[in-house]
């Protein structure tokens, strides 16, 4: 499998993300149909419309590949290639008219991220990466920050949908980190948060109870921009594990220790 094939994967993913993003941007300013998957877990008609466009493009281009998408049932065809799709990452923001959301598309090969695309339709920023070939924003190379002191670090996080019911809800971790960092933001789109680490706007990001479609593309982009991505406990990144820590690498161990329950 050469760069030419990987470049074709990336090209189709970028096209699909931009096409889906155009739908989201158009519908952002229109009345929305909102449905509840849980007490605070939303899905909109825009999620479905965006997903339909992406799945159509991927199936036409790569009919033998598996696809795992947030809003669709998953049927494995035993392909070594798995597309992981979030047609609207940041649905709650979208539903409330807060312009912070994205389209996230990743391709895994034998379980490892190979290609990643995250598109912000409101700013027309397309973040992309191929494993081993760096990361870009609108085709321009990006790199993580140089911040080496957590007290000077701007970080980002999020909270799970069961924050009010589960004790494993990131409140302990947030409390530990906010006392040490310069600031902590909560933007509501994990895919974009990871890209902000990749471009150096954030020095680190952490969250728990995320799904593969939330993190697979953004994690690859962050790693290819020179960042470090692991679980809270430190093993290498796995999109199917439910904790993620992404930093510029320089503050990684200190932040990881704050997050680890072994030290909490």
Instruction: Report the share of the chain in percent with pLDDT over 90.
Output: 82
Average pLDDT for 96-108 = 97
The whole-number pLDDT of residue 2 equals 56
Q: What stretches of the chain show up as alpha helix (H) in DSSP?
A: 3-28, 45-61, 91-95, 171-178, 190-199, 212-224, 252-259
Residue 92, C-beta contacts closer than 8 angstroms, at least 6 positions apart: 40, 42, 188
Q: What pLDDT does residue 124 have?
A: 98
Q: Would you call 93 helix, strand, or coil by DSSP? A: helix
Q: Which residues contact 173 (CB under 8 A, 6 or more apart)?
A: 157, 206, 208, 258, 259, 264
Q: What is the mean pLDDT of the chain?
A: 92
* 27-73 tens-digit pLDDT: 999 887 777 765 545 678 899 999 999 999 999 999 999 999 987 87
pLDDT in tens, 121-161: 999 999 999 999 999 999 999 999 999 999 999 999 999 98
Predicted confidence (pLDDT) at residue 162 exceeds the cutoff of 70? yes
Among 74-83, 103-112, 236-245, the least confident range = 74-83
Q: What is the pLDDT of residue 234?
A: 85
* Side-chain half-sphere CA neighbours of 42 within 13 A: 17
Quote the CA–CA distance of 90 and 3 in Å, as a whole number.
32
Flag whether pLDDT at 260 surpasses 60. Answer: yes
Confidence category of residue 264, pLDDT binned at 50, 70, 90: very low
Domains of the chain: 3-141 (3.30.540.10), 150-263 (3.40.190.80)
pTM given for the model: 0.94
Q: Please compute the mean of the pLDDT values over residues 201-214 and round it to a whole number.
A: 97
Neighbours of 236 (CB within 10 A): 11
Radius of gyration of the chain (CA): 17
Query: Helix 171-178 crosses helix 252-259 at what angle (to 10 degrees)?
Result: 140
pLDDT computed for residue 130 by the predictor? 98
186-199 pLDDT, tens per residue? 999 999 999 999 99
């Amino acid at each position: 499998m050469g760069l030419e094939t990987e470049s074709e994967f990336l090209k189709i993913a970028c096209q699909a993300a931009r096409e889906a993003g155009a739908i989201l941007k158009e519908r952002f300013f229109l009345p929305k149909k909102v449905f509840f998957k849980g007490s605070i877990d939303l899905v909109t008609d825009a999620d479905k419309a965006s997903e339909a466009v992406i799945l159509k493009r991927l199936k036409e281009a790569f009919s033998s590949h598996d696809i795992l998408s947030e809003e669709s049932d998953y049927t494995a065809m035993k392909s070594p290639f798995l597309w992981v799709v979030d047609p609207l990452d940041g649905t709650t923001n979208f539903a409330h008219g807060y312009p912070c959301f994205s389209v996230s598309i990743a391709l895994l090969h034998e379980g490892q991220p190979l290609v990643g695309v995250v598109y912000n339709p409101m700013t027309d920023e397309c973040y992309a990466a191929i494993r081993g070939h760096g990361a870009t924003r609108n085709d321009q190379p990006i790199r993580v920050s140089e911040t080496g002191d957590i007290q000077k670090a701007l970080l980002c996080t999020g909270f799970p949908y069961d924050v009010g019911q589960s004790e494993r809800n990131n409140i302990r971790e947030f409390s530990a980190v906010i006392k040490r960092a310069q600031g902590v933001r909560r933007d509501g789109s994990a895919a974009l948060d990871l890209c902000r680490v990749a471009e150096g706007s954030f020095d680190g990001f952490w969250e728990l109870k995320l799904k593969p479609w939330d993190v697979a593309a953004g994690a690859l982009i962050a790693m290819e921009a020179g960042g470090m991505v692991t679980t809270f406990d430190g093993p290498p990144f796995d999109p199917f594990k439910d904790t993620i820590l992404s930093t510029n690498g320089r503050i990684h161990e200190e932040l990881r220790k704050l997050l680890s329950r072994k030290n909490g």
